[in-house]
Structure 1
Amino acid sequence: MSDDAARIRALITRWAEAVHRGDLDGVVADHTEDVVMFDVPPPHEGIRGLAAYRATWPPFFDWQAQGACFDIETLDVTAGTDVAYAQALLRCGTPEELAERPTLRLRLTFGLRKERDRWLIAHEHHSFPHD
């Protein structure tokens, strides 16, 4: 694994741990000011900008406080010189939701760019399969 791929893997792992803890500052760290996110809940046209990204997380933390998990199962990273992407599958749900649908996984895709030798998340896409 390249050094850049390892750095990106560590960045995404830190991000997921911050989400799991409900640590808003940790979640928004390592994101670009112009981040774009397409998320599971509305707005379906996505959100743009770090302030809008930050505002999406408190309702998720409230839901997660019901005992939901947010655990990376797989994470693959492809890193170029100054852009990279990563995809992951996560167990994300309450115990009841996961008991009802044990194979359900949250799908995540990240687009990253390197700015002044620092990798930053510029794009996130979160989705669940629609059966």
Structure 2
Amino acid sequence: MSHDEKQIRTLIERWAAAVHQRDLDGVLVDHTDDIVMFDVPPPYDGVRGIEEYRETWPPFFEWQAQGASFEIETLDITAGDDVAYAHALLRCGTAKEFADQPDLRLRLTLGLRKEQGRWRVAHEHHSYPHD
């Protein structure tokens, strides 16, 4: 694993831990000001910019506080000199959801770019498989 891939893995694991802990500042820290995110809930045309991205998290944290998990299960990273992407599967759901659908996994894809020597998330995409 390259040095850049290790840095990105650390960034993503730190982000997932912040989500799990409902730490909004920790969730935002490594994202670009012009982030674009496509998420499971609306708006279906995505959110653009760090302020819109910030606004998506409090409702998720409320849902998560009801006992939902958010844990990286697999994570793969490909890094170039100044751009990278990662894809992961996460256990993201409640105990009831996993009882009903044991194989349920959230799919995560991230696009990153290096700015002033620091990796930052510029694109984030979350999805669930459609039955």
**Bin for the TM-score computed over the shorter chain:** over 0.9
| Aligned residue in 1 for 2:95 | 95
How many percent of aligned residue pairs carry the same amino acid? Answer: 71
Q: Secondary structure at the match of 1:92?
A: strand
C-alpha distance in structure 2 between counterparts of 1:126 and 1:29, whole Å: 19
C-alpha distance in structure 2 between counterparts of 1:113 and 1:8, whole Å: 10
| Aligned residue in 2 for 1:60 | 60
Matches within 5 A, 1:73-88: 73-88=73-88
Deviation sequence 1:15-67 (CA, Å, 0-9, x none)? 00000000000001100000000000000000000000000000000000000
Aligned length: 131
Deviation sequence 1:79-128 (CA, Å, 0-9, x none)? 00000000000000010111110101000000000000000000000000
TM-score normalized by the length of structure 1: 1.00
Structure 2 gaps of 5+ residues are none
C-alpha distance in structure 2 between counterparts of 1:96 and 1:66, whole Å: 11
Instruction: Give the letter aligned to residue 88 of structure 2.
Output: A
Q: Please report the RMSD computed on the Cα atoms of aligned residues, expressed in angstroms.
A: 0.3
C-alpha distance in structure 2 between counterparts of 1:23 and 1:102, whole Å: 27
C-alpha distance in structure 1 between counterparts of 2:15 and 2:49, whole Å: 17
C-alpha distance in structure 2 between counterparts of 1:112 and 1:66, whole Å: 31
| Aligned residue in 2 for 1:114 | 114
| Aligned residue in 1 for 2:16 | 16
Instruction: Give the letter aligned to residue 129 of structure 1.
Output: P
Instruction: Give the letter aligned to residue 122 of structure 1.
Output: A
Instruction: Give the letter aligned to residue 22 of structure 1.
Output: R
Structure 1 gaps of 5+ residues are none
Instruction: Give the letter aligned to residue 34 of structure 2.
Output: D
| Aligned residue in 2 for 1:48 | 48
C-alpha distance in structure 2 between counterparts of 1:18 and 1:35, whole Å: 18
C-alpha distance in structure 2 between counterparts of 1:113 and 1:70, whole Å: 24
Instruction: Give the letter aligned to residue 23 of structure 2.
Output: D
Q: Secondary structure at the match of 2:97?
A: helix
- 1:27 pairs with 2:13: no
